[in-house]
Amino acid sequence: MDAFSHLMNGFLILGSDPVGLLWIALGVLVGIVTGAIPGLTATMGVAVFIPITFSLEPQIALGTLIGVYCGGLSGGAVPAILLNIPGTPSACGFQKYRTAIMLIPGQPFQ
């Protein structure tokens, strides 16, 4: 039960601090931009953003890095859908998304 109370305390610190929420929003934005650039992965975005989080509180820093990672995973779908080039390895499933939308029944998938 002690671990659960520590977890709730961390969420309380993140949710009640507007500066922490701004850092998380900045992390998500940086992650989306990083993931949308073909060749840059979410893990690489986290690695680049780690030195920036050294001066932050631990809860805010971890929330920011999680935001960068989640934003990078979802940002990788942008070039995969629009340009048919997967931006991150996790977005390879979206590469044929436009083709799958335009499928005609009875014709094979190419």
Question: Looking at the whole model, is its pTM more than 0.85?
Answer: no
How high is the pLDDT of residue 107?
Answer: 65
Going by C-alpha positions, the residue among 75, 85, 94, 87 that lies closest to residue 38 is: 87
Whole-angstrom distance, CA of residue 63 vs CA of residue 69: 10
Cα–Cα–Cα angle for 80, 67, 63, nearest 5°?
165
pLDDT digits (tens, 9 = 90+) for 50-97: 999 999 988 889 999 999 999 998 888 888 778 777 767 777 776 665
Q: What is the mean pLDDT of the chain?
A: 83
Pick the more confident residue, 99 or 43: 43
Does position 98 have pLDDT exceeding 60, yes or no? no
How high is the pLDDT of residue 101?
Answer: 59
Whole-angstrom distance, CA of residue 50 vs CA of residue 30: 12
- Hey, what are 51's tokens? 């030195």
Range list of H helices, the chain: 2-16, 18-36, 42-49, 58-75, 77-82, 97-101
* CB contact at 8 A, 55 and 45: no
Cα–Cα–Cα angle for 4, 49, 16, nearest 5°?
40
pLDDT digits (tens, 9 = 90+) for 3-47: 888 888 878 877 788 998 999 999 999 999 998 888 888 899 999
For the chain, give every domain's residue range: 2-101
